[in-house]
Amino acid sequence: MRLHECYRFAVMSGTRQFPKRLLVSILIGLGCSSPKPVEGVWRPGPGEDAEYIPGPLKNFGPFDTYTDAILAACPMILSKPNATVGYLQDLNPELAARTATEYCAWLYYTPEHKYEMSMLTDLSQPDDLVANKKTCVLPTYVNDSRYAPGDLKYIFALHNHPFGGTLSLIDYRFIEKMAHHHDWEVETRNGKVRLAIIAFFSQSKDPAAPTCDGFYQYVPASREVMTWVQTQGRWKMKKHEILEWRNDKTYRLRSIQEDAGRNPH
């Protein structure tokens, strides 16, 4: 979209009322300027294998526990451009849908008994079930040149939900597909950890300083779906459910008793 076309769209959609700094951010999110690299975000170049995302992410970790890694990953991912657009939903739903961006990455475990994160990617594909929605496409493997491919253990597929919504059918199906490529459960120095997908969310109305308010988690091995919220730097389970498949595209979530004393797993 050309710059004058973007500005005309912004004015027609009521975006002109926003502060100048926010307007510039929105216009960039619409593709109204030359694409610029985003720190820590990988997009495959010519000849690169899109099935392998580089790792580790610079200036992130390594961490001794996965809970510390999650605590650090949440605000970092949510701080990326248009990673949270809930503040726009009521003002301009169309604009919110156009600018919303999902970022995804792998949290993995190394032979040094450390938790590392791959680079992020914002590669996306249309959501077949929800109009005007894009989902992040996370490569199947991590390319960490320090180790042989089989030495890495995949822990969590991390991403953000720009609107703060719960996990979707696409999320559930993605991590179950990944369970065909990676172990459902791995042994770590901290004990056994099960493969899971995690979606961070923010309820902040300030796009310049989004808060990390929690995340949704699905564990294929146990079919557990959990909602975690952050309180004073600690994770507390708010909701605990079991996913029951009825067919390939239909499921129900059955509530079970909350267990606030557990850690994300």
Instruction: Return all residues near 179 (Cβ < 8 A) that are at least 6 apart.
Output: 195, 220, 221
213 and 99 within one domain? yes
Same domain, 30 and 118: no
Residue with the larger pLDDT of the pair 82 and 134: 82
* 74 CB neighbour count, 10 Å cutoff: 25
Q: Are residues 53 and 159 in the same domain?
A: yes
pTM beyond 0.75, yes or no: yes
57 in the same domain as 150: yes
Q: What percent of the chain is modeled with pLDDT above 90?
A: 65
Residues 23 and 3 placed together within one structural domain of the fold: yes
196 and 236, same domain (yes or no) = yes
Which whole number is the average pLDDT over 127-136? 69
Residue 176 and residue 152 share a domain: yes
Of 230, 223, 161, 227, nearest in space to 196 by CA: 223
* Rounded Cα gap, residues 223 and 207, in angstroms: 34
Say if 44 falls within a structural domain.
Answer: yes
User: Predicted confidence band at 262 (pLDDT cuts at 50, 70, 90)?
Assistant: low
Question: Do 167 and 198 contact (CB within 8 A), yes or no?
Answer: no
Residue 263 resides in a domain:
no
In a domain, residue 218? The reply is: yes
Structural domain includes residue 15: yes
Helix axis angle, 20-29 relative to 3-12, nearest 10°?
A: 120
Residue type for position 161: H
Q: What domain range is 22 assigned to? A: 1-36
Number of domains in the chain: 2
pLDDT digits (tens, 9 = 90+) for 155-191: 999 999 999 999 999 999 999 999 999 999 999 998 9
Same domain, 119 and 17: no
Residue 63 lies in a domain: yes
The 10 Å CB-count burial string (b at 16+, else e) for 230-255 is beeeebebeebbebeeeeeeeeeeee
pLDDT value of position 130: 58
| Whether residue 184 sits in one domain with residue 118 | yes
Q: Is the distance from CB of 202 to CB of 213 less than 8 angstroms?
A: yes
pLDDT confidence of residue 3 = 33
Q: Among 224, 219, 223, 233, which residue's Cα sits nearest to residue 258?
A: 224
Q: How far apart are CA 119 and CA 21, in angstroms?
A: 27
